[in-house]
């Protein structure tokens, strides 16, 4: 079964027609990367996939269910994790408190398992979000999405603003999650980071 299928998405902000018939497929257990320059509509595509800016025409199917007009909380509850651009972690909460924010969805990912995959976060679990480096913040944003135990994870430009070595660490984590059976849609402007 496909994790995600989008067909003919047409999305608008008011009268601005942003997506013109976008389609893509992510098969189960696969990492698919969506590349494009700044302003091409990558973020809008993700927003349409998770219901934040629903498409006016076209269809989104997630694990076979037509979700095009589902509200975002329902898409999330069906097993879709979303890591928006800019990380949006809670600056005044500790690492561990950030991880406790999502509604729990039963599954293999628990705080101890997350600390195994992200030893850097384990070492800083009592630190506030604002004390973390950019790379640690990105790891925390991904780790927090994992707490929902998603079957499909959507990542918006996780490499943005990170040093190349840290970008490699982030992508290693993405590959490790894929190896656990997760399907991933990754948006990147940084072609080198995406193909390396
Ligand atoms: P970036 O790399 O900057 O995130 P992107 O490929 O993700 O770029 P989008 O953010 O999807 O591109 O933006 C696509 C187009 O939609 C751009 O022309 C942008 O100006 C426009 N746009 C984005 N958000 C809004 C909004 N809330 N209202 C109106 N237009 C918007």
In the predicted structure, residue 195 carries a pLDDT above the cut 60:
no
- Per residue in 51-71, is it b (16+ CB within 10 Å) or e — as a string? bebbbeebebbbbeeebbebe
Please give the distance, rounded to the nearest whole angstrom, from the Cα atom of residue 44 to the centre of ligand 1. 6
Average model confidence (pLDDT) across the chain? 91
Q: Which atom of ligand 1 is nearest to the CA of 40?
A: 6
11-52 confidence digits (pLDDT tens): 999 999 999 999 999 999 999 999 988 888 999 999 999 999
- Ligand 1 surroundings by CB, under 6 angstroms: 13, 16, 18, 36, 38-44, 85, 189
User: What is the reported pTM?
Assistant: 0.90
For residue 44, the ligand 1 atom closest to its alpha carbon is 11
Read off φ and ψ for residue 76, nearest 5 degrees. -60, -45
- List the residue whose alpha carbon is closest to atom 23 of ligand 1: 44
Number of H helices, E strands in the chain: 8, 8
- What are phi and psi for residue 19, nearest 5 degrees? -100, 130
pLDDT > 90: what percent of the chain? 61
Q: What is the C-alpha to C-alpha distance for residues 131 and 92, in angstroms, rounded to an integer?
A: 9
């Amino acid at each position: 079964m496909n994790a995600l299928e989008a067909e003919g998405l047409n999305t608008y902000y008011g009268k601005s027609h942003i997506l013109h018939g976008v389609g893509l497929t992510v098969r189960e257990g696969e990492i698919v990367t969506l590349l494009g320059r700044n302003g091409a509509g990558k973020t809008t595509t993700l927003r349409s996939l998770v219901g934040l800016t629903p498409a006016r025409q076209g269809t989104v199917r997630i694990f076979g269910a037509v979700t095009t007009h589902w509200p975002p909380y329902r898409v999330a509850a069906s097993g879709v994790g979303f890591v928006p651009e800019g990380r949006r972690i809670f600056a005044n909460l500790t690492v561990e408190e950030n991880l406790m924010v999502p509604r729990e969805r039963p599954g293999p990912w628990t705080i101890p398992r997350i600390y195994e995959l992200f030893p850097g976060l384990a070492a800083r679990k009592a630190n506030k979000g604002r004390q973390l480096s950019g790379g640690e913040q990105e790891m925390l944003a991904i780790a927090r999405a994992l707490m929902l135990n998603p079957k499909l994870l959507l990542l918006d430009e996780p490499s943005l603003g990170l040093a190349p070595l840290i970008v490699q660490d982030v992508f290693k984590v993405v590959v490790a999650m894929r190896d656990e059976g997760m399907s991933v849609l990754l948006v990147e402007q940084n072609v080198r980071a995406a193909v390396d």
